[in-house]
Amino acid sequence: MTEEHHQEETPSEEGPLRVLKWDLGLFEQITRGFRFPPEWDARYPGQNQTAADAPPGYITLFEDFFLHGNFWLPATNFMAHILQYYGFHISQMSPPGMVRVRHFEFLYRAHDIEPTMEKFRGFYQLIRNMGFYSFGNRGAAKKILLNPPKSFHDWKQKFFFIREEVMLIAMTFCPWTDVVEKEDLAIPKKEG
């Protein structure tokens, strides 16, 4: 890897995300460790590409989804339901959001309970932070993720592109103002 590959551009406040700050070796470990088949065509981005530069037919995924969020491909039906319900693209989710979604799903499946949107919304609400979507604890709901990771260093710069077919649903990149918490639905009072 060349020295200039590790340099970063300084983005403006509303400009593109900075260029890569992770290496090809870690990308290859993810593709091997998570068993990406060749037809998914996972691609390490070029030197000046940003997460917003996914080629046609590809989506952007972040390294921390896999290493800290327990995300696997192909995505589960529950993940597809989350993205459909809220109407945003997976590349618009932050790693903390991925951690909460996957933890919730694992917890429910470990107790032989099917995870649903209604149950998920009983614990979490949609939050937006710096151009990405996540989930925060809902009011007085019991916390089910007691020790969430505190930070994800440089996560926006650690991304790759992969064929969009790895997702079970067609997704569209939603403008910031189009995704809102759907509060009109009743929140469940009990689980089960």
DSSP state of 43: B
Residues with Cβ within 8 Å of 48's Cβ and at least 6 positions away in sequence, in order, are 9, 19
Residues with Cβ within 8 Å of 98's Cβ and at least 6 positions away in sequence, in order, are 64, 65, 68, 69, 71
Respond yes or no on whether the N-terminal peptide bond of residue 55 is cis (omega within 30° of 0): no
- N- to C-terminal Cα separation, the chain: 52
In DSSP terms, 61 is beta-bridged to: 160
The predicted pLDDT at position 129 comes to 83
CA 89 – CA 119 distance, rounded (Å): 21
pLDDT per residue of the chain (192 residues) written in tens, 0 to 9: 333 333 333 333 344 544 556 889 999 999 999 999 999 999 999 988 999 999 999 999 999 999 988 999 999 999 999 999 999 999 999 999 999 999 999 999 999 999 999 999 999 999 988 889 999 888 776 777 767 667 777 899 899 999 999 998 888 777 765 555 544 434 444 444
Q: Full-prediction pTM beyond 0.75?
A: yes
The predicted pLDDT at position 186 comes to 43
The predicted pLDDT at position 20 comes to 55
Helix, strand or coil, per DSSP, at residue 114: coil
100's enclosing H/E stretch is helix 95-110
The predicted pLDDT at position 192 comes to 43
The predicted pLDDT at position 164 comes to 94
DSSP state of 112: T
47's enclosing H/E stretch is none
The predicted pLDDT at position 5 comes to 36
